[in-house]
Structure 1
Amino acid sequence: MATKKQARQPTPKKLAAATWSALSVMAMLGMNTQSAWAQAENDPNKPQRVEITGSSIKRIDAETALPVQIINRESIEKSGVTTAAELLSKVSASTAGLTDGASFSDNGGTQRGFNGANLRGIGVSSTLILLNGRRLANFASPGTSSGVDLNSIPSAAIQRVEVLKDGASAIYGADAIGGVINFITRPDYQGAEISAYVGNTQHGGADKKIVSLSGGIGSLSQDRYNLMGVVNFQNTGGLRSTQRSWIGSAYQPDINLDVGSSNTFPANVRRTTASGGATGSRLNPSAPTCNPPATVFAADSFVGSKACLYDYMHDTEIFPESQRASLLGRAQFAIDADNTLFAEVLHSDTKTTYRISPLTVTNLNYPVTGIYYPNDLITTNKTPLRVGLRLSAAGPRTNEVNAVAQRLIVGAKGTIAGWDYDTALNHSVSKVDDKYVDGYVRTSAFDSAFLTGKINPFGPSGTEGTSLLNAAKISDAARQSRATTDAFDIKASRELFAMAGGNAGLAIGAEYRREKLEFTPSALLAAGEIRGDGAASAYGGSRTVKALFAELNLPILSNLEAQAAVRHDSYNDVGSTTNPKFGLRWTPAKEVVVRGSYSAGFRAPSLADINEPARTGQTSGIYNDPLGCIKTGNIDNTKNPDYCGIQPDLIKGGTANLKPETSKQFSAGIVVEPSRSLTASLDYWRIEKSDTLLANEGAYFSDPKSNPGYAIRGAADPSLPGIPGPILSVDGRVKNIGSLKTSGVDINLNWKLPENSLGKFNVSLNGTYVIDYKTRNTAASPEVNGVGIYTDTQVVQRWRHTLTFDFDRGPWGATLQQTYYQGYHDQNTLADGSTRDVPAYVLWDLSGSYKFSKAFSLRAGIKNLLDTNPPRSNQIYSFIAGYDPSYTDPRGRFVYISGNYSFK
């Protein structure tokens, strides 16, 4: 049970002074231990104890009681991935993460530029990302997902990635519910290296160029120092929907997809009443010819009307343009053979450009006196006309998101008096500037200009109207966010007493962390002067977290080992929590390891979840009202357009007094190694979360009866008996209303075939089978098993795997890799009520390499070898319609070549 508790917190200056005092003591100790240095130099073959993600106790045997997937640099290069986000798409336990395509839509687009990891599909905020075992600041732009931006991870510097597929709250922090992904960089690099990468798609768009420079001097073991640095530059081109012939329409009746917008160009209009409200059916002066291909006749959707329908997929960029530069530097100085001072600096700068369909205008009336009034369409009883306008003349809505991640660490590690220790100060920053650069207008200026009647909602405007529109356009640094994490941590471990299976091990540690978030809107955004975006208020929040933890490793017998850990975290704003973890490792035979674990977790609401004020925007998806977009009136097959293809206002923001999420995790598995060439593992896992934090705009549309409080409606129309009033807005603020139970099995296989005259062959499989994924959106909602079914905001496939075939023969190498996502039931049924199935999505990647010498190598490859298109889907949560961008790749066949040259 969480309890509120206030305490005086040590200041950063006091922490810094304490840390440097400790380092000074260690340095003085090091001056008197030159004999230890000599002894270590004389015993280079002594087995080295290492720390594996999931435990703070160093050990020689890397196989622990926890399931850890290790991906080395060679495997990363063979797979052809160039970013951390691409790498995690090859990890079967990673489900429903935030991708470049999905970030168009997340939280109404307020977290543009954010790529996040999501182990087990239980939420980006429940997966802990570490770089060299320590935290980075969360992505600063506030929204429904809180986590580290994968774009900030310097992929060129990665030596290996350790994926702990088990809860680790007792080791790394209460929020590590879904697991931990630890990106580990090169520890002691010497020499220089340059690498280049260039690739392009077969059908154009989304090209990529990369240059990386690496260098290091000094040997830690011989020179007692090492300095290394990696600089990386990436440039990726954008991809428009019109560059792919397979991109479908927002209106595809054969799969029951009908999310075309009633806000069109030329504009749909309705007559107005004396009070200025809209009445009657929609009309369009260009119907039925409309303005193809983006705007089409709406007869199939709105039978009986003379309206048009806007297909926004023809005006949307489905893959953003980006430029990325990163620097990782590391300095190490060996005081003696046992103690090292170190410092690490990270700077990552990513600029991403998003372009989506033009702005909508729905609350203005075009005057009767306007020079473009449609007199041929409306000949009598003329009134001002309420427009449903797509502001195509202003161009696509374009945002430039500049995300900067920085981290500075100074610390020390080594051995003193039999204790292995590691301590550091960590200052980490995320800064995100979201600039509205095109397609947006200043509300007051545009409204005044439009009411003059000189801006044409039905076609090109004249010179004066064009001037008025251009004068109303803005370029504004609307959103500026900054998140910081300052932390001090120290841990120490040692062997204790002898047991039947060896020496017991103990680790103890402490952490102090201060997190801060600041959001500053521009003057225009604060005043609500950016049309299509509600007024936003500046706000901030901060919290301190203090933690103590301990871990025991107990070799009870020679073949039986236990792990017990406990961590106490105290949050000054949401209370305290103590979380245990227990693990067991049994080796009944040298070829078999049986393992299991149990743990608990606690995830505090993010600072944005608690502190962000309520504000109004638009839903990310276009929806059909389940209680109104139905057959109405006396005309058969008629749908009322006021309830179909709507994109209502979305009330978003945080909620005070939110409770933390709590969790329980269990895993059990077996690892077998019948020979040195074959290793296989099977691990069962189960996670239960309570008081789940949800900010789900689509909850009402998927289950209106269980979620009536989400929709805010206007007055009912007496002419539509039994139909409620139209939806004015949806409440999408964060709430503690959900629960989740999910379980599954991870399967891993690695088979090294005996080397023969043809060469070396290796086959590996990394797969996840999800048994169930049961959720509730509210306490009153029925429990829904979402495995293999698109529910609410995501799909969790029953089975996902990555299958890799490697071949090596002398300087030659080749890799063929399959990534497989099983099919599932689509979000919506077909028109006749039957289930629609989305087929499996299977990608094949092929690469080959040749080493000309130890210094120079080339690699060429084809990603998506068979040019497989994403399967069609009628999901309507994502702004991108016709397929699901959360796990698919719209680029198609992609050909690349890379080269690497080392100077040593």
Structure 2
Amino acid sequence: MKLKKLAQLMALIGVAGTAVAQEATPQAMQRVEVTGSSIKRIAKEGALPVQVITYDQIEKQGITSAEQLLSTISSNGTGANNMTSGNNVFGADADRVSGGASFASLRGLGPNSTLVLLNGRRIATHGASGKAVDLNSIPMGAISRVEILKDGASAIYGTDAIGGVINFILKTNYNGVEASATTNSTEAGGGMNRRASLLAGHGSLEEDGYNVMMSLTVDNNDKLSSNQRSFANGFQPGRGLSPDTTGTPFANQMTGAGTALGTSFTVPGSTNQYLQANPLSFTGKCDTVAGMSQYQTALWSKVTSPLRTTYSCAYDYGGDYVISFPVERANLLSRASFKLAPDHTMFVELLGSRTKATAEFTPMQIPTSVATGGLYPVGGAYYQDLSAYIPTFDRTKPIAYKWRANDFGNRTQENTTDNLRLLVGFEGTVGKWDYKAGVSHAQSKTNTKLLDGYSYTAQLFPALASGVINPWVGAGQSQSQAAKDLIESTKFRGDFQHGKTTLTAVDGSVSGELLQLPAGAMSAAVGFDLRRESYAFGQDIDATLVFLSPGNAALEKASRNVKAVYAELLVPIVKDLEMQLALRRDDYSLVGASTNPKVSFRYQPASWLLFRGSANKGFLAPSFTQLYSGQLFQELSSGAIDTLGCGRHPGDPVFCAPARLNYFSGGNTALKPETSKQGSVGMVIEPVKGYSASLDYWAINSKDRILNRSATIVLQNAALLPQNIIRNPDDTINYIQAGWINAAGSRTRGADLSLRGEGSTNGYKWNAALDGTWTQSFKFAEIAGQQYKEYVGNFYTRDLYLRWKHNASFSLARGDWSGLLTQNYSTGYKDQVPNGGALPYPAGFNPKVSSYTSYTLSGTYTGFKNTTLTVGIQNLFDKDPPFTAHNVDDVVGAGWDPRVADPRGRALSFQVKYKFM
């Protein structure tokens, strides 16, 4: 009776909110290889937690990309590895060369710690960043299913599988022709997606001895801008949100020796030495220019000096972002399989893809000074005389200013990534032993062109100093034709940078039964993996010639060899108890070698009850970028404070409110590998056939975590990183050394819950499921030597570690009709506190970001001959992203956060699929 009630409760939970369901267990008792083991065995619930998602379920949810799929996986991190966040040059760990790419991050440990496989084998990492596999390179139209191993697998697949493994399994041995077309349009406009795919195959491997197949998928995604969504609004001061920039379309004037404002100025009735001014601010008319507002000094008084902002205007550049940029994507898969003998197969697989993403950033923010040039000249037609407000204003001197140069256009980049992999493989059986071997070569090449919005530095500042270009264009005004022509003459357009990764691999393994033990057969697998990896990143033009150049410094081609051998044992100890033992040794040239063990168990004392667990070690070698990327010179604009210098020179604006600070970022050849220890323990119950639940508790501890530290973080931790702040003899900062470092370790733990239920009643078949992740703790220190800090439920600039996330689904089918309702849910978290956490908070500020829930409803009809029609509504209730008051310089999204929510709003998808007979 208790079991019956438990089953009913599980079904009820599954119906209320349920996740992507697994395929039914195959009836044929054939041996298969499951992600997480190299030993083929009868498919059953194993010692490691593996989530399986079918292509049918992906289609019915209206998912058209691997990035969208990963956003529904509860064990995947809530981080800035998506394309929207990648369209950004700010942030603590901003990747300046990944525009157009997206990455996976299981457990929130980062893309480098998540291994992405295609049919169990590696593919090349992204050509530009080189750090991980770009999810855009996955041929989604040819996917059969996706397997997510939510457990460390360094001992089986390689050292970079610390967070887990995502294995995309492709269709094989397909016979027939199938075409499909999909559209997905938003109700509010913008961001429309389209897809067309063709799948064709001929021959049967079993009957004809061969099969050839081809899959072609073409995607096209339209642009979505912030101005198309009302929630993308960075000026909501009553809620604690306002822009933190004085780079405005109607320029703010700056102080400096030899300029009209001098080194500082006063206003009547005050003795304060102010540093910046705008004529619109003095007249209360900042908001007469679109996107501009009076700088909200009270909201930033503890972060940015009021001496710089009191008489300045601000600009909502966050509300000017492109939320989702145009993407064109094509994936081609061709595969030929041949039966060489009854139990031996050879196949040749060619995979190619091209992704073209047009990334747009807000226009350049240009500061002028005596040192850099560009001062507006005395006698210029647009000279702004502020002597009516500032008695010390010297109209005989040129004007220094900071300008958001909208008239130069959005900084626009075209990132084209070409991926190619050729694989020749062999699989077969000799007696009771299965073998597989393969030789492959893969490469990813990215080329970046600058299309608009960038200028040659040498031409830009003289053009500004000519006085022809007007930095103070008011409402209803525009640049003169002469100014437009001059602006155009400064621009750089053309090939800018390129990157390429290659991966050549030879692998092989055998598995089978070693001997019979009293409790059953002992099985084993042994294998090897030889790889040569390379990465190169170069400039087509000297990046220093282009103002605010968007890329990394050049990295000459670097290569390394990786040699690995591994062994795995499956040992039945007693009836219903088996152990899985694995050991792998990886030897990285230039980095070193590591041996990583893994032990797991599976104990099934009753047909309805299973216990499982694992323990393993990991080793993550630094990437080429982390080790060897060149030093890139950049600049921190106003707002940064030299905390140590200001403490030694209180009140001195040179230290307490510097106009700008120089810094370098790049690789670090002294990096050590990350190491980790992790484990899990769990149980699975199936009290009644068709009803099951699993609960797995996991923990991961890492040391020497490799993190990219921004100049801002270095400044904030100056006492712990004095060697990274290089000072001049007068104690001012010469430059800051940012970039990759070995930070302290991390500790995270949590649990995965999976519920399943299925049945039939009155001719209806139903299926309900839920996959959720509860994160108990995620602690780490930004810098070695600091105490560990808890990040679960708290704002952080790179990843959000949410307490609970789940994806749930309920499907119902009868005859030619079927329907699917899915729910994605994530808990809220504490927001970034305005004004550096200073009290009191703004009256309208809510320190808690709300939870986010979205629903997708789809219906499928198969009643027409050879035709399948699917209609779906994504974001069924048109749920806006929850409001957040975070600083846009830290995380993309003005008033919302793309790490959590989908900005497209309610959307309608329609798919038609036709099978040719």
1:493-524 deviation line (CA, Å, top 9, x unaligned):
11111012321111011111000001110224
Gaps of 5+ in 1: 1-43, 717-723
Match of 1:438 among 452, 469, 488: 452
**1:251-330 correspondence to structure 2 within 5 Å:** 251-274=235-258, 279-280=263-264, 281-287=275-281, 288-290=284-286, 291-298=288-295, 300=297, 302=306, 305-330=310-335
Q: What is residue 349 of structure 1 aligned with on the other side?
A: 354
Match of 2:839 among 832, 835, 852: 832
Q: Quick check: 1:260–1:645 contact (8 Å CA) kept in 2?
A: no
**1:39-188 correspondence to structure 2 within 5 Å:** 47-97=29-79, 98-105=81-88, 107-142=94-129, 146-188=131-173
Deviation at 1:204, TM superposition (A): 0.5
Q: Are 1:223 and 2:220 counterparts?
A: no
Match of 1:391 among 381, 394, 405: 405
Deviation at 1:700, TM superposition (A): 4.2
Could you say what the CA RMSD is over the residues aligned between the two structures, in angstroms?
Answer: 2.9
Q: Which amino acid aligns with 2:253?
A: V
Deviates more, 1:643-652 or 1:796-805: 643-652
Deviates more, 1:453-462 or 1:568-577: 453-462
Deviation at 1:354, TM superposition (A): 1.3
Q: Which amino acid aligns with 2:404?
A: R
SS in structure 2 opposite 1:681? strand
Deviates more, 1:198-207 or 1:697-706: 697-706
Q: What is residue 403 of structure 1 aligned with on the other side?
A: 417
Deviation at 1:305, TM superposition (A): 3.7
Match of 2:859 among 848, 851, 854: 848
Number of aligned residue pairs: 844
Q: What is residue 517 of structure 1 aligned with on the other side?
A: 535
Match of 2:481 among 459, 463, 482: 463
SS in structure 2 opposite 1:695? strand
Compared CA separation, residues 46 and 289, structure 1 to 2 (3 A): closer
Compared CA separation, residues 236 and 855, structure 1 to 2 (3 A): same
Q: What is residue 433 of structure 2 aligned with on the other side?
A: 419
Q: Quick check: 2:378–2:396 contact (8 Å CA) kept in 1?
A: no
Compared CA separation, residues 108 and 331, structure 1 to 2 (3 A): closer
**1:230-629 correspondence to structure 2 within 5 Å:** 230-249=215-234, 251-274=235-258, 279-280=263-264, 281-287=275-281, 288-290=284-286, 291-298=288-295, 300=297, 302=306, 305-363=310-368, 364-378=373-387, 380=394, 382-459=396-473, 460-525=478-543, 527-533=544-550, 536-617=553-634, 625=641, 627=643
Q: Are 1:201 and 2:186 counterparts?
A: yes
Distance 1:436 1:710 in 2: 32
Distance 2:237 2:509 in 1: 60
1:782-818 deviation line (CA, Å, top 9, x unaligned):
2101111123422110000011111112111111111
Deviation at 1:870, TM superposition (A): 1.1
Q: Quick check: 2:34–2:43 contact (8 Å CA) kept in 1?
A: no
Deviation at 1:528, TM superposition (A): 3.3
Q: Quick check: 1:99–1:116 contact (8 Å CA) kept in 2?
A: yes
Distance 1:642 1:893 in 2: 49
Distance 1:675 1:113 in 2: 47
SS in structure 1 opposite 2:879? coil
Q: Which amino acid aligns with 1:310?
A: Y
SS in structure 2 opposite 1:755? strand
Deviation at 1:292, TM superposition (A): 2.7
Distance 1:591 1:648 in 2: 64
Match of 1:679 among 692, 708, 718: 692
Q: Quick check: 2:174–2:201 contact (8 Å CA) kept in 1?
A: yes
Distance 2:745 2:499 in 1: 30
SS in structure 1 opposite 2:463? helix
SS in structure 2 opposite 1:119? coil
Match of 1:857 among 863, 868, 874: 868
Deviation at 1:384, TM superposition (A): 2.1
Distance 1:674 1:714 in 2: 72
Distance 1:482 1:276 in 2: 49
Q: Quick check: 2:254–2:401 contact (8 Å CA) kept in 1?
A: yes
SS in structure 2 opposite 1:791? coil
Distance 1:575 1:129 in 2: 23
Distance 1:847 1:641 in 2: 60
Compared CA separation, residues 380 and 792, structure 1 to 2 (3 A): closer
Deviation at 1:200, TM superposition (A): 0.8
Q: Which amino acid aligns with 1:167?
A: G
Distance 1:711 1:463 in 2: 46
Compared CA separation, residues 567 and 534, structure 1 to 2 (3 A): closer
Q: What is residue 813 of structure 1 aligned with on the other side?
A: 818
Distance 1:345 1:383 in 2: 66
Gaps of 5+ in 2: 1-25, 265-274, 299-305, 388-392
1:159-193 deviation line (CA, Å, top 9, x unaligned):
00010000111111111100000000112100000
Compared CA separation, residues 728 and 103, structure 1 to 2 (3 A): farther
Deviation at 1:646, TM superposition (A): 8.5
What TM-score do you get using the length of structure 2 for normalisation? 0.87
Q: Quick check: 1:272–1:385 contact (8 Å CA) kept in 2?
A: no
Compared CA separation, residues 730 and 200, structure 1 to 2 (3 A): farther
Q: Quick check: 2:319–2:893 contact (8 Å CA) kept in 1?
A: no
Distance 2:113 2:660 in 1: 30
Q: Which amino acid aligns with 2:903?
A: P
Match of 2:760 among 755, 759, 766: 755
Deviates more, 1:850-859 or 1:677-686: 850-859
Q: Are 1:872 and 2:883 counterparts?
A: yes
Q: Which amino acid aligns with 1:741?
A: R
SS in structure 1 opposite 2:487? helix
Distance 2:848 2:884 in 1: 9
Distance 2:94 2:219 in 1: 27
Compared CA separation, residues 536 and 696, structure 1 to 2 (3 A): closer
Deviation at 1:886, TM superposition (A): 1.7
Deviation at 1:377, TM superposition (A): 2.0
Deviation at 1:677, TM superposition (A): 1.2
Deviates more, 1:102-111 or 1:231-240: 102-111
Deviates more, 1:699-708 or 1:783-792: 699-708
Q: Are 1:895 and 2:895 counterparts?
A: no
Deviation at 1:466, TM superposition (A): 2.4
Deviation at 1:101, TM superposition (A): 1.1
1:324-365 deviation line (CA, Å, top 9, x unaligned):
111011110001110000011111101111112100111344
Q: Quick check: 1:175–1:601 contact (8 Å CA) kept in 2?
A: yes
Q: What is residue 11 of structure 2 aligned with on the other side?
A: none
Q: Quick check: 1:408–1:428 contact (8 Å CA) kept in 2?
A: yes
Q: Which amino acid aligns with 1:508?
A: V
1:47-70 deviation line (CA, Å, top 9, x unaligned):
311000000000013321111111
Q: What is residue 15 of structure 1 aligned with on the other side?
A: none
Give the fraction of aligned pairs with identical amino acids, expressed as a percent. Answer: 36
Q: Which amino acid aligns with 2:854?
A: L
Deviates more, 1:348-357 or 1:641-650: 641-650
Distance 1:826 1:700 in 2: 22
Compared CA separation, residues 890 and 223, structure 1 to 2 (3 A): same
Match of 1:745 among 747, 751, 754: 751
Q: What is residue 14 of structure 2 aligned with on the other side?
A: none
Deviation at 1:210, TM superposition (A): 0.6
Distance 1:630 1:897 in 2: 60
SS in structure 1 opposite 2:232? coil
Deviation at 1:454, TM superposition (A): 2.0
Q: Quick check: 1:686–1:742 contact (8 Å CA) kept in 2?
A: yes
Q: Quick check: 2:97–2:552 contact (8 Å CA) kept in 1?
A: no
SS in structure 2 opposite 1:257? coil
